[in-house]
Amino acid sequence: MRFKKRWQQVRVFFSLGILTAIVTACGHQQPMEKLQFPADENFPFLTLEKTYTGKVEESGSWGSRLQRLLAGDCPQMPLHRPTGVAVDSMGQIFVVDMELGRVLRFSGPEGDCHEVTEFGVDVLKMPVGIAITNQAIFVSDVDRHLVQVFNHALEAVGTIHHDNFVRPSQLKYDPVTQRLLVVDPPSHQIFIFQTDGTFMAALGGLGTAPTQFHFPVSVDTDETGKIFVLDGLNRKTKIFSPELAWLSEFGTYDRTPGSFGFPKGIAISSDGYIFVSDAAFGNIQIFNQQGALLYFFGETGWEQGEFMLPGAIGFDDQEQLYVVDQYNNRIQVFQYYAQP
C-alpha cells in the first residue's frame, strides 16, 4: 500500500511537470539569428525578423511529439506549397496553401506560438492568391476559375466570376480606389472589380505593346493608386495610372543583376520602391520607379535569408515584407527600412 501510494504521488508529480513543460514550450518560439541586408552597413535595407515554417510533421508517437515540445519547439501546421500571403488590420497572417486547398490564419501575441486556424477546405480546390479588406477575405481558385469570398468569421459568403477567367491567381486590393485586382496569367489580363463583385475593367491582352502583357504574374499598387504589373514573359514591370493609362515600363531578360529571369512577385514600399522576387535568381531585387537597381538580397538555398522559388511578396502596414518561399515551404518576414 505504501509503495502504491508513493507511485501515485510520483505519477501526479511527473504529470504536472510534463504539463508545465508543455505550456512553457508552447508559449515561445525558438530565437532566430538576426540577419541584416547588407550585412555590414549602419543603415541596412532589411532585417530578417521571423519565419513561418511549414515542415511536414512525420507521424510519431505521443512521446516523440512530447520530446519536441520539451525541446522548445512550437507545434507547427504543415505547409505543403504556399502560394499567397496577406495580413489583416489586426496583424493576423493568412497563408494560402495550394497543394492542400486551404488557407491558414496565424494569430497570437508577437513572439508566442501562434494559434492556427484553417478554412476554405470545403469550397476551395486549388487556391493561389489572397487579398483582405475590413469586410471580406478574397481567395482565388485556379481550378474553379473564380474568386471565393469569405467573411471574417471565415465563412464562405460568395464568389466573383468573369466569363474570361482562365486561371485567376494573384490578387491585390487597392485601398485608394477600393478596387480588387485579379491577375489571370493565361488570359494575359488584369481584371478589376468593385469589392461587391461588380466588374469594372480589364487591363492588358496578349502582346508586347506597352498596354499589353504576356503572362502577367503579379500586381501591386502604391499610395497614390498607381498600378504596377509584373509582366512575366515580357520580363517587364509596367506602371499605369489609377485611370489605367500606361505611364512607363522597365525590364529586360538577362542573367545579370537588374534584369529579370523568372520574375514572380511584386510589392511597392511606402516610399515608392519596387521589390521584385525572381525564381531564377532566388532573390529579391529593389528598383526605383525609373527602373534603376538599388539593391538585391537573397540567393538560392535553404538557409535563413535564402529562397527556393520565391513567389508572391507583399508589405504590411508596418513595412514588413512577406516573402512566399515556395519550395522551402515557409514565409520569411523582413523589416524594411527607408534609407536616410
Q: What pLDDT sits at residue 338? A: 87
Question: What confidence category does residue 41 fall into, taking pLDDT thresholds of 50, 70 and 90?
Answer: confident
Q: What pLDDT sits at residue 69? A: 40
What value does the mean pLDDT take over residues 287-308?
A: 96
What value does the mean pLDDT take over residues 265-277?
A: 97
CA distance 277 to 299: 11
CA distance 227 to 180: 12
- Which has the minimum average pLDDT: 28-42, 81-95, 245-259? 28-42
Cell of 185: 496569367
Q: What pLDDT sits at residue 58? A: 41
Query: Quick check: 219 and 183 in contact, CB under 8 A?
Result: yes
28 backbone dihedrals φ, ψ, rounded to 5°: -140, 145
Whether the per-residue pLDDT at 17 is higher than 90: the answer is no
Percentage of residues in the chain having pLDDT higher than 90: 76
**Contacts of range 34-40, beta carbons closer than 8 Å, 24 or more positions apart:** 35/304, 35/305, 37/295, 37/297, 37/298, 37/305, 37/334, 38/295, 38/297
Residue 13 lies in a domain: no
Residue 281 lies in a domain: yes
Which range of residues forms the domain containing residue 83?
Answer: 34-58+79-336
Residue with cell 514588413: 320
CA distance 76 to 74: 6
Residue 83 lies in a domain: yes
Q: What pLDDT sits at residue 79? A: 85
Q: What pLDDT sits at residue 182? A: 98
Structural domains in the chain (count):
1
Q: What pLDDT sits at residue 109? A: 59
Q: What pLDDT sits at residue 25? A: 29
Whether the per-residue pLDDT at 223 is higher than 90: the answer is yes
The model carries a pTM of 0.86
Q: What pLDDT sits at residue 77? A: 62
268 backbone dihedrals φ, ψ, rounded to 5°: -110, 125
The predicted-structure confidence for 51-64, as pLDDT tens digits, reads as follows 988 644 443 444 44
Bridge partners of 158? 149
Mean pLDDT of the chain: 86
Whether the per-residue pLDDT at 33 is higher than 80: the answer is no
- Which has the minimum average pLDDT: 61-65, 111-115, 202-206, 259-263? 61-65
Q: What pLDDT sits at residue 304? A: 94
Question: What confidence category does residue 9 fall into, taking pLDDT thresholds of 50, 70 and 90?
Answer: very low
Q: What pLDDT sits at residue 284? A: 98
CA distance 120 to 124: 6
Query: Quick check: 156 and 146 in contact, CB under 8 A?
Result: no
Q: What pLDDT sits at residue 74? A: 58
Residue 158 lies in a domain: yes
The predicted-structure confidence for 226-244, as pLDDT tens digits, reads as follows 999 999 999 999 999 999 9
Q: What pLDDT sits at residue 270? A: 95
Bridge partners of 248? 239
- Which has the minimum average pLDDT: 106-115, 136-145, 294-303? 106-115
Query: Quick check: 204 and 229 in contact, CB under 8 A?
Result: yes
Q: How many CA atoms lie within 13 A of 245 on its CB side?
A: 3
Percentage of residues in the chain having pLDDT higher than 70: 82
Q: What pLDDT sits at residue 76? A: 58
Residue 162 lies in a domain: yes
Whether the per-residue pLDDT at 125 is higher than 70: the answer is yes
CA distance 214 to 224: 26
CATH of the domain at 117: 2.120.10.30
